[in-house]
Amino acid sequence: MSDLTLLQQITDYSNRHDPYPLYARLREKPVHHDETGPYVIGGYHEVLALLHDPRISSERRNRTATTALPGQEDGDDGGTLPPNFLRLDPPEHDRLRAITNRPFGPPHSPHRVDGMRGELKTIVTDLIDALDGDEIDLVERFSYPFPVTVICRLLGVPREDESRFHGWADTLVATLDPQPGQDVAERDRTAQQARIELGLYLNGLIEERRKSPGDDMLSQLSTGDGPEGRMSGMEVLSTAALLLIAGHETTVNLITNGMLTLLRHPEVLERLRADARLAVPLVEELLRYEPPVQMVPSRTPITDIEVAGTTIPKGAPLWLMLASANRDPKRFADPDRFDPDRVDVQHLGLGSGIHSCFGAPLARLEAQLALAELARRLERPRLVEDPPPYRTNAVLRGPRQLRLAIDGVRR
């Protein structure tokens, strides 16, 4: 038996490659009150209900207790910007999300995401064209650069600035993935520096776009007017940083987890190679089976609440375990089986309720295009190591590296 609590085992790096047996233990009780403090919920129906419960807050100031466990820093802005809408409750959350949605999705901008399809395909094609040699690290060469380029195009970062933008994104993402033995003070200084540079850069870009707006999101966020009014400059800034952070590492992990899962299920890879349309249901099953956001560790009740007979006190840390909910046998038949033909796949991989993933249509399209093209073009891909080395982060879980042996790239 381990001396670690169940939650410590779940977040412990040694279990990163396969946390699912621990989630099964978690689901033995509807509420697990961990000895380290948090109340942890692993069952599908309970997690879903709490994601929709207006008594559950996402605001840090409502949490009375903090925990020493990792996982509280996802999406953190280091205090340099006002809280973004992931960290806000209604009515502020709803106002900022509605303004951000005007230039992004229906009903005002129904073509934004689909209109990016051609551009996404070109980015994917260019990245695959550039692969050479008989062994590649898919993360470095493909999964990592793809989403950050997409966010640049979405926000309207000029092409010539993209590599600087990638640099800041790298530094900020690294803070989500602390390495053992790393100089923490030094890392925090570098991250703070990157935040300041990124902020200054975006500020300049926002100023420019105010004067001569284009069709991009930054222009429209800075100049657009709707019933909810306009965002302040600081709000545009923290929203842009949110889109960058929330849309980057998550998508990297979905693509990498996807390729890993396909290589472990070669018959599905073969089907995808023959018919790219399989990518649509496949990505949904992936979001259930290997979700990049494993848990939401940053909620708290604003009043005492009762879940299945247990009282969770106001202000207590509440962790909602999405990846565990997705494998709940009370909701999904044979949940540990990867089956892209599943018909009823209402997973929680993109969350649910008012904070459900804002970028979901873009995330889905990116993953569908990426996996279909990788399946079609990589010649005889094989895993060099299984399991691959994982990033340290337990919340945004995914391989740090995915080494593939290939016979070449179909041109």
Residues lying near ligand HEM in the complex (CB under 6 A): 85-86, 97, 242-243, 246-247, 250-251, 254, 292-293, 296, 349-351, 355, 357-359, 362-363
At its nearest, how many Å lie between ligand HEM and the CB of residue 248? 8
Return the bridge partners of 379, or none.
Answer: 408
Residue closer to ligand HEM, measured from CB, 6 or 86: 86
Residue closer to ligand HEM, measured from CB, 187 or 315: 315
1 CB-near residues (< 8 Å, 6+ apart): none
| Residue length of the chain | 411
CA nearest neighbour of 362 among 140, 44, 109: 109
Residue closer to ligand HEM, measured from CB, 71 or 349: 349
Residue closer to ligand HEM, measured from CB, 108 or 382: 108
Q: Closest residue (Cβ) to ligand HEM?
A: 359
Residue 26 identity: L
At its nearest, how many Å lie between ligand HEM and the CB of residue 112? 10
Residue closer to ligand HEM, measured from CB, 263 or 367: 367
Residue closer to ligand HEM, measured from CB, 187 or 400: 400
Beta-strand relationship, 403-405 and 382-383: antiparallel
Return the half-sphere exposure (C-beta side, CA atoms, 13 A cut-off) of residue 36.
17
At its nearest, how many Å lie between ligand HEM and the CB of residue 401? 19
287 contacts 254 by C-beta, under 8 angstroms: yes
For 88, phi then psi, to 5°, come to: -120, 155
CA nearest neighbour of 344 among 276, 284, 272: 284
Residue closer to ligand HEM, measured from CB, 40 or 293: 293
At its nearest, how many Å lie between ligand HEM and the CB of residue 246? 4
At its nearest, how many Å lie between ligand HEM and the CB of residue 411? 29
CA nearest neighbour of 406 among 115, 224, 136: 136
At its nearest, how many Å lie between ligand HEM and the CB of residue 357? 3
At its nearest, how many Å lie between ligand HEM and the CB of residue 410? 26
CA nearest neighbour of 145 among 166, 131, 129, 130: 166
At its nearest, how many Å lie between ligand HEM and the CB of residue 27? 19
CA dist., res. 87 & res. 98, Å (int): 15
411 CB-near residues (< 8 Å, 6+ apart): 129
**N-to-C CA span, the chain:** 53
CA dist., res. 285 & res. 291, Å (int): 9
8-state DSSP, 278: G
Residue closer to ligand HEM, measured from CB, 15 or 257: 257
CA dist., res. 261 & res. 271, Å (int): 14
